[in-house]
Amino acid sequence: MTEIFDNIRKLYRFSLPAECLSPFIEFFSETDLLSAGSSIQDKKFTVKLFPSFTPTIWMNLGSPYQLHNGNRPHQIDERTDVLVLRSQTIERRNAPTDNIFTVKFLPGGFEAIFGISQARIADDVIPLDELIPQKNINQIKKAPDFDTRIKLWETYLLEKKSQNAESHYLITVQRSIGTFIDSSMQLSAMQLANELCMSEKSLNRYFNKVVGTGPKHYFNILRARTSITDFLSEQDCFLPGTYGYYDMSHFYRDVIRFTGTRISESH
């Protein structure tokens, strides 16, 4: 299964974070065992995720799985929980007994809470117990249900957040992302820098420090992910100019560049 093209969300339960965490956390999710069991007929299945530069924690509540982060394979056993940046295409090769709890951060959100730049994650797969005490991990994993796990996570994340002040770098990057989206994803890095009353060189430095890549690369990814998702859900009213594309040909070329496939080949 491939995100954007396939309805991966049907395999999971989702919950938005508490309002005080919403600037930093995109969502919590957990495998919906009933839905996944009825949807997955094969003995093994693969979930493919495109780059997003959103730090993501995967707590393993089920069986071992194989994780391919770019071209690097990692065997994840049933006791191992990991943090990844999603700076490149990732594939999880799962058994039908797969059961994953996810904490997905917004760009810069991981740093705001943990005080560690997501750029340091790079293309590594980091064991979660290097960041969080094992006793906290065990408490969350042994919780009786999804809602309880979320409450435990939120309590822990809020405590960590209280220990770290937001940096000027992070605030500026968040503002630039909001400005880019509000411009129908049309502003260049230079235009964004002008909007923020700073040099393009400084904006580039801020993004590399906070996100782990430059603004041009990140905004290309954001535009592609958003536009492809919207195209597949509402093709009849899709307007390429809404996402900063010149025309449909420009959009189709970007689909191939980002996903490696044509939209017509994905169905």
The CATH number given to whatever domain includes residue 185 is 1.10.10.60
Residue 32's domain comprises: 8-161
Domain co-membership, 28 together with 148: yes
CA dist., res. 176 & res. 230, Å (int): 22
Domain co-membership, 20 together with 137: yes
Residue in the structure block whose two tokens are 């940046």: 85
pTM (global) more than 0.85: yes
User: Where among 118, 146, 161 does a domain terminate?
Assistant: 161
Domain co-membership, 173 together with 157: no
Q: Decide if 157 is inside a domain.
A: yes
Domain co-membership, 80 together with 182: no
Which residue from 10, 104, 114, 2 is spatially nearest to 54, judged by alpha carbons? 104
Bridge partners of residue 91, in order along the sequence:
48, 68
Q: Decide if 1 is inside a domain.
A: no
DSSP the chain: -BTTTS-GGGGEEEEPPPGGGTTTEEEEEEE-HHHHHHH--SSSEEEEE------EEEEE-SS-EEEEETTEEEEE-TT--EEE---S-EEEEE-TT--EEEEEEPTTHHHHHHS--GGGTTT--EEGGGTS-HHHHHHHHTSSSHHHHHHHHHHHHHHHHTT-PPPHHHHHHHHHHHHHHHTTT---HHHHHHHTTS-HHHHHHHHHHHTSS-HHHHHHHHHHHHHHHHHHH-GGG--GGGGT-SSHHHHHHHHHHHHSS-GGGG-
pLDDT at 40: 64
Q: Decide if 2 is inside a domain.
A: no
User: Where among 114, 134, 161 does a domain terminate?
Assistant: 161
Domain co-membership, 59 together with 143: yes
Q: Decide if 93 is inside a domain.
A: yes
Domain co-membership, 122 together with 43: yes
For residue 160, give the amino acid letter: K
- Residue 256: count other Cβ atoms within 10 Å of its Cβ: 12
CATH code at position 75: 2.60.120.10
pLDDT at 98: 85
- Residue 228: count other Cβ atoms within 10 Å of its Cβ: 21
Tokens, residue 267: 């169905």
Domain co-membership, 215 together with 236: yes
With beta carbons less than 8 A apart as the criterion, state whether 9 and 233 touch. no
Q: Decide if 72 is inside a domain.
A: yes
User: Where among 161, 176, 201 does a domain terminate?
Assistant: 161
How far is the CA of 3 from the CAs of 41, 229, 260, in angstroms?
A: 18, 9, 13
Domain co-membership, 61 together with 26: yes
Domain co-membership, 117 together with 216: no
Q: Decide if 145 is inside a domain.
A: yes
- CA 12 to chain centroid, in Å, comes to 15
Return the exposure string of 75-94: e unless at least 16 CB atoms fall within 10 Å of the residue's CB, then b. ebeeebbbbbbbbbbbbbbb
Domain co-membership, 127 together with 200: no
Give the chain's domain count: 2
pLDDT at 154: 98
Q: Decide if 248 is inside a domain.
A: yes
- Divide the 267 residues of the chain into consecutive groups of 10 and give the mean pLDDT of each group: 84 94 96 70 79 97 93 94 96 86 96 94 95 97 97 97 87 94 92 95 95 96 95 90 92 94 71
Domain co-membership, 145 together with 72: yes
pLDDT at 255: 95
Q: Decide if 3 is inside a domain.
A: no
CA dist., res. 22 & res. 26, Å (int): 7
Domain co-membership, 219 together with 240: yes
